[in-house]
């Protein structure tokens, strides 16, 4: 994992809701094949948008309450927050350009 932040119930408000920059949240699990497929893309985007976008990872096995509050039933689920509100999301393994398109207009 690169500069991605581990997001938990304990730091969710501070790191996501009160973030001064948009946040891309990756809901994942270690046993999830599609999650592993997109992990390099998430890491690359974290590096490419450093300082303009915060990238967080939520392990659904460890943070099931956080996943539940977001209605996550399939992983990977990617959710973009801006100013404390959800502005975009997608489910499943998608190409890097599709992930980037989730936040491109707001970063």
Residue written as token pair 């809901």: 27
Residue written as token pair 């967080």: 56
Structure tokens at 104: 């491109």
- The residue annotated as part of the active site, out of 16, 24, 35, 102, is 35
Please give the distance of CA 19 from its chain centroid, rounded to a whole number. Answer: 13
- The residue annotated as part of the active site, out of 24, 32, 45, 55, is 32
Half-sphere exposure of 44 (CA within 13 A, CB side): 10
32 is catalytic: yes
35 is catalytic: yes
Residues annotated as catalytic (active site), given as ranges: 32, 35
């Amino acid at each position: 994992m690169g500069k991605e932040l581990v997001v938990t119930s304990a730091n969710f408000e501070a790191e996501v809701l009160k973030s001064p920059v948009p946040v891309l949240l990756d809901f994942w699990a270690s046993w999830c094949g599609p999650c592993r497929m997109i992990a390099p893309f998430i890491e690359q985007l974290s590096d490419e948008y450093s300082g303009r976008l915060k990238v967080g990872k939520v392990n659904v096995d460890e943070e099931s309450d956080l996943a539940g509050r977001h209605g996550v039933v399939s992983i990977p689920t990617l959710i973009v927050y801006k100013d404390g509100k959800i502005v975009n999301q997608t489910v499943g393994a998608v190409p890097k350009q599709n992930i980037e398109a989730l936040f491109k207009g707001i970063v």
